[in-house]
Structure 1
Amino acid sequence: MKISVVIPTLNSERTVEVAVKSALSVADEVIVVDSFSSDRTVEIAEKGGARVIQVKGSRLIARIEGAKASHGDYIVNLDADMYFSENFKAFEEKVIALGEITVGKGVVHKLMSLDREITHKKWSENLSVTSGGIIPRVYDRQLLLKAYENIPANLREKLHAFEDSITYYEVLKLYKGKVQFIPNAVYHIEDDTLFHFMRKWYKYGKNAKLLRGTEYERVIKERKTRPGLSTTEKMKLLLPTLIKGIPFALGYYL
């Protein structure tokens, strides 16, 4: 079984080195799909051993072009601010979710660490494609390519946010098997300032407008929930939910 890791990048020089190095330790190939970064992202990725291709277009286009260029039996959709732990192993299904360990510093790190810690404890409930808080990152290559083909062309060209949710939705139209969960499989670097984090979610909201009136609209609106959580757990997640939800709503509705 061969594994390909696909990493979209845009001015990711700060984290891409550790992402590529980690990916090469577990995969047969690492493909960095760069959106013409103006910093040293491409240089660092190539020096680290990744194969770099550059494409214009959305984040979803980067995922798709990376998948097409890959040769593995499985594709891992990694982000440039993520790297693997020793728990990444033992694939049993064709769709696999990876538990995330939050690393970094500051307020955002604390909030996201709490969110993932609570949500991942209830992982079985949170793998729901419409209402869960966890999205798979590992797919059988042929299954993933077929799912990508079913996403409307106008969205493929423009979707910079929630592309993973839409991909998962399309995959489950084709796949009726189980979704595997590997606990604590990847580290996710979260050290944005609070302002930058909230600005990012505002941009997500603006980009999500593209999904209005489509079958994907319900997926995006309902995925903010965290099924299976107790009232106490939901209260603990109130602050991170508001910090993401308020700027998202402003971008989406204004």
Structure 2
Amino acid sequence: MNGKELVSVIIPTRNSEKTLPICLASVRNQTYRNVEVIVVDNFSSDRTVEIAKDYGAKVYIKGYERSFQKNYGAMKAHGKYLYFIDADFYLHPKLIEEAINKMKEGYDALIVLNISDPRPSLWAKVRHYERLSYYGSGIYEAARFMRKEIFLKAGGFDTKLYANEDYDLHERLLKMGVKIGRTRYFEIHLGEPKSLREVVVKNYYYGKSLAKYFTKNPKVAHLSPVRRTFLRREIIKLLSLNSFYIIYLIIFLKFVQSVAAFLGLLFRKSLTPYVSYSRE
């Protein structure tokens, strides 16, 4: 397309019909047009696959876990660049255009600013400010837009990880000496928790693979429940006196997540993993 290099946007899905239309519409509305969308679905029981096809995505059915799904999507991708997103992301219209321009400056991979939609609940608002505090700190940031050749050289995502697979890949990219930049434009994460129970359930599940992640990455600051980024001057300025309590709630939320993840790690042997299947 006009000599422009192809970008492959890879989206793992599982029962994602509520947010996938918003996600795919935001990809369709990008100012950079030479994009292919690859949806790798984990046997959804809702309209996810139908929606993906309606938006012109290439759809593959591949089970087990999202790391495996994303690796499979990368294998099927034809683009020079890979961009990994979730089905509950909304992209700024100029995001991919900016990413391409950054790559032309000599970067091999990019960290894309990911912010949380604060509207669904109090906990979503807490997550919104938490994520803002990380920007530019090197904590809880991972490159997800990269050259395909770099992704393959790094070995892709670790399929034994149920969570933190993007941070694990990022650590390997750093060890490889890959030149990593960051975008100014952002993604919005729509799937924020509506209740504390959702936070507990999600992190309990993620805790299943923590032992593997700790073994590979023993020095990971983003797993600490209390982080100095919460008190960055920029964040404090964002919070009025009436909202300063958000900082305390951020710390409380991180403790809840840590406890839930630890319990998931402790009882991981009692949990049954998905069975791996595939269908094209």
Encode CA deviations 1:63-113: one digit per residue, 9 max, x unaligned: 101011111111111001002113413232221111123214112211110
Q: Judge conservation of contact 2:130–2:230 (CA < 8 Å) in 1.
A: no
Percent sequence identity over matched residues?
27
Question: 53-62 or 190-199, which moves further after superposition?
Answer: 190-199
Provide the C-alpha distance between the structure 2 equivalents of 1:215 and 1:72, rounded to a whole number of angstroms: 30
Match of 1:222 in 2: 221
Residues 1:159 and 2:173 are matched in the alignment:
no
Match of 1:78 in 2: 85
Q: Judge conservation of contact 1:87–1:184 (CA < 8 Å) in 2.
A: yes
SS of alignment partner, residue 137 of structure 1: strand
Match of 1:55 in 2: 62
Match of 1:112 in 2: 127
Normalised by the length of structure 1, the TM-score is 0.84
Match of 1:8 in 2: 12
Query: 1:33 offset after TM fit, Å?
Result: 0.5
Tell me which of 95, 98, 101 is aligned to 1:90.
98
Question: 136-145 or 86-95, which moves further after superposition?
Answer: 86-95
Match of 2:256 in 1: 243
Provide the C-alpha distance between the structure 2 equivalents of 1:118 and 1:19, rounded to a whole number of angstroms: 24
Query: 1:140 offset after TM fit, Å?
Result: 0.8
Q: Judge conservation of contact 2:205–2:264 (CA < 8 Å) in 1.
A: yes
Match of 1:193 in 2: 195
Provide the C-alpha distance between the structure 2 equivalents of 1:246 and 1:6, rounded to a whole number of angstroms: 32
Q: Judge conservation of contact 1:87–1:183 (CA < 8 Å) in 2.
A: no
Q: Judge conservation of contact 1:2–1:72 (CA < 8 Å) in 2.
A: yes
Provide the C-alpha distance between the structure 2 equivalents of 1:211 and 1:97, rounded to a whole number of angstroms: 20
- In structure 2, list runs of 5 or more residues that go unmatched: 237-246, 268-280
Provide the C-alpha distance between the structure 2 equivalents of 1:193 and 1:34, rounded to a whole number of angstroms: 26
SS of alignment partner, residue 192 of structure 1: coil
Query: 1:228 offset after TM fit, Å?
Result: 5.3
SS of alignment partner, residue 186 of structure 1: strand
CA RMSD of aligned residues (A): 2.3
Q: 1:192 to 1:136 in 2, by over 3 A?
A: farther
Provide the C-alpha distance between the structure 2 equivalents of 1:57 and 1:205, rounded to a whole number of angstroms: 17
Provide the C-alpha distance between the structure 1 equivalents of 2:131 and 2:112, rounded to a whole number of angstroms: 11
Provide the C-alpha distance between the structure 2 equivalents of 1:145 and 1:30, rounded to a whole number of angstroms: 19
Q: Judge conservation of contact 2:207–2:260 (CA < 8 Å) in 1.
A: yes
Encode CA deviations 1:183-213: one digit per residue, 9 max, x unaligned: 341111124332112210111112323445x
The amino acid across from 1:117 in the alignment is: L
SS of alignment partner, residue 18 of structure 2: coil
Match of 1:129 in 2: none
Query: 1:227 offset after TM fit, Å?
Result: 5.6
Q: Judge conservation of contact 1:107–1:194 (CA < 8 Å) in 2.
A: no
Match of 1:137 in 2: 144
SS of alignment partner, residue 223 of structure 1: helix
Report how many aligned residue pairs link the two structures. Answer: 237
Q: 1:227 to 1:69 in 2, by over 3 A?
A: farther
In our comparison, the structure showing a higher alpha carbon Rg is 2
Match of 1:182 in 2: 183
Q: Judge conservation of contact 2:8–2:36 (CA < 8 Å) in 1.
A: yes
Provide the C-alpha distance between the structure 1 equivalents of 2:93 and 2:228, rounded to a whole number of angstroms: 28
Provide the C-alpha distance between the structure 2 equivalents of 1:231 and 1:19, rounded to a whole number of angstroms: 31
- In structure 1, list runs of 5 or more residues that go unmatched: 127-131
Match of 2:50 in 1: 43
Provide the C-alpha distance between the structure 2 equivalents of 1:113 and 1:75, rounded to a whole number of angstroms: 26
Q: Judge conservation of contact 1:75–1:140 (CA < 8 Å) in 2.
A: yes
Q: Judge conservation of contact 2:29–2:93 (CA < 8 Å) in 1.
A: no
Normalised by the length of structure 2, the TM-score is 0.76
Provide the C-alpha distance between the structure 2 equivalents of 1:208 and 1:43, rounded to a whole number of angstroms: 34
Aligned pairs for 1:16-35 within 5 A: 16-26=20-30, 28-35=35-42
